[in-house]
Amino acid sequence: MTKLLKKRTSLEQRKAWYGVLFAAPWMMGFAFLFLIPLFQSFRFSISTLKLATGGFITEYEGLANFKTLLFTHPTFNRTLVEAVSKMLVNVPIIIIFSLFAAVLLNQRFKGRTLARAIFFLPVIIASSAIAGLETNNFIANVMQSTSGSAEEGGNFLQSFELEKMLLESGMAKGFVFYLTGAVDRIYEIIGSSGVQILIFLAALQSISPSLYESAKMEGATGYEIFWKITFPMMTPLILTNTIYSVIDSFNNNSMSGLISKTAFAQFEFGQSAAMSWIYFSIISLLLLIIGWVISKRVFYYD
């Protein structure tokens, strides 16, 4: 009995060390590449930064930069609220659309590989490797003209007819406005869903076929199979994709543009650092709340 406990303990310790070894590159990168700039950014946020010959000079100001942003800055609060509101609206739609698209792409049909590539194409177009090319301006103009022509042509899905039809069906007004707003942003949603679709697709392919075979032998319908097998098995990846989508939505929006403009156009480095810290704190708080809420519903299959 004692030998068995010792073996079990050594196995658990070995697994723990494997985990530490797996996380070691990230911890080293954080310590050497991120920790010092993080500390320096906080120092800038509580100081006034002035450029001087051969470098810069910092003058301690305490919380003056934070007070200016929260109480007197003309656009900071509005831009921050818009960024958070946009995230809260778009992330659920992105997760639902990604899961739906992954389930469809997981079916067997001709041209499945091409269909998967098409869904991932917006991620490649929006990547930093392509963003600097002049051809990307042409792609953006094409997408903009396509979107504009759809709106001017009276696209049925974006028109008043869809909203009227849903309201007449008895749906709540707030939910109808949410759906029609999602349709209006369909290009943005598809462009933000490529990575999530790949993650969901990989998770779907990892589900054991024996679970589906057993369910079919028991007479389960496709609807029951999805909600009793597929969806519970996907909940760990729903948590992963939700966290990724939240971070991705905050990475490139009007708030990040305001931070960059304040630093490199207006040369207010102290205010820019304070904006970054407020923004970072709100993102961290939202991630903790979202992760805590969703993790309570996550199902782990052993």
Residue percentage of the chain with pLDDT more than 70? 76
CA distance 158 to 161: 8
Is the pLDDT assigned to residue 208 strictly greater than 80?
yes
Indicate the pLDDT class of residue 86, thresholds 50, 70 and 90.
Answer: confident
- pLDDT in the model for residue 131: 47
Is the pLDDT assigned to residue 149 strictly greater than 70?
no
Indicate the pLDDT class of residue 191, thresholds 50, 70 and 90.
Answer: confident
- pLDDT in the model for residue 290: 92
The pLDDT tens digits for 100-135 are 888 888 887 787 778 777 777 766 665 544 444 444
Higher-confidence residue of 212 and 302: namely 212
The pLDDT tens digits for 4-58 are 555 556 777 888 888 889 989 988 988 888 888 888 899 989 988 877 776 778 8
- pLDDT in the model for residue 156: 44
Q: Can you give the chain as a three-state secondary structure string?
A: CHHHHHHHHHHHHHHHHHHHHHHHHHHHHHHHHHHHHHHHHHHHHCEEEEEECCEEEEEECCCHHHHHHHHHCCCHHHHHHHHHHHHHHHHHHHHHHHHHHHHHHCCCCCCHHHHHHHHHHHHHHCCHHHHCCCHHHHHHHHHHHHHHHHHHCCCHHHCHHHHHHHHHCCCCHHHHHHHHHHHHCHHHHHHCCHHHHHHHHHHHHHCCHHHHHHHHHCCCCHHHHHHHHHHHHHHHHHHHHHHHHHHHHHHCCHHHHHHHHHHHCCCCHHHHHHHHHHHHHHHHHHHHHHHHHHHCCCCCCC
111 phi-psi bin (left φ>0, alpha ψ -120 to 50, beta other): left
Residues 6+ apart with CB under 8 A from 66: 45, 274, 277, 278
Is the pLDDT assigned to residue 293 strictly greater than 60?
yes
Is the pLDDT assigned to residue 239 strictly greater than 70?
yes
The pLDDT tens digits for 246-282 are 988 887 788 988 998 988 888 888 999 999 999 999 9
- pLDDT in the model for residue 161: 65
- pLDDT in the model for residue 140: 46
The pLDDT tens digits for 168-179 are 667 677 666 666
Of 40-49, 142-151, 177-186, the least confident: 142-151
Indicate the pLDDT class of residue 59, thresholds 50, 70 and 90.
Answer: confident
Q: Which amino acid is at 117?
A: A
